[in-house]
Amino acid sequence: MLIYKIFRRPEWDAFRAEGETLGAPVDLADGFIHFSTAEQVTETAAKHFATESDLVLVALRAGDLGPALRWEPSRGGALFPHLYRSLSISEVVWDKSLPLGATGHIFPEGML
C-alpha cells in the first residue's frame, strides 16, 4: 500500500540534499511525520495547501516503514499514517510535482 506526503519545494529540496528528514514544521511540532492514504490526500492538499502551487507529492510503501509507522485517528476520526522516526530518501518510491489548477491540485494520472 502506498501512502503519500506533500512537501513544499524547499522542504523537498532539503530532504533530497540531506538524505533524510524529520518532516515539515508541522511534523516537527507534532513529533511525527504526517502522511495520507490515496483516499485522504486530496482533502489534505485542499485543507493544508489550498493556495500553494510549488508542491511535491511523494509516495512511500507503508509496509517498508516498519513499526515506527502508526495508524492514528485524526481528521473526522479517520486513521492516518504517522511516522515516529526520520524518513530516508531511499524509502521514497516516487515523487511528482503537484501543481495547483483552477479547481484545486492536479494529482498524477491514475493515482486516485
The mean pLDDT of the chain is 96
Is 36 a member of any domain?
Answer: yes
Q: Specify the 3-state DSSP secondary structure of 81.
A: strand
How is 11-41 classified by DSSP, letter by letter?
Answer: HHHHHHHHSEE--SHHHHHHTSEE-B-TTTH
Q: CB–CB of 102/51 below 8 Å?
A: no
Is 49 a member of any domain?
Answer: yes
pTM: 0.95
Is 110 a member of any domain?
Answer: no
Separation of alpha carbons 3 and 17, rounded Å? 22
Is 7 a member of any domain?
Answer: yes
Structurally, how many domains does the chain consist of?
1
Separation of alpha carbons 36 and 17, rounded Å? 24
Query: What CATH number corresponds to the domain at position 79?
Result: 3.20.170.20
Q: What is the mean pLDDT of residues 59-86?
A: 96
Beta bridge mates, 94: 59
Is 26 a member of any domain?
Answer: yes
Is 6 a member of any domain?
Answer: yes
Structural domain span for residue 61? 2-99
Asked if residue 111 has pLDDT above 90, the reply is no
The model's pLDDT over 8-42, given as tens digits with 9 standing for 90+, comes to: 999 999 999 999 999 999 999 999 999 999 999 99
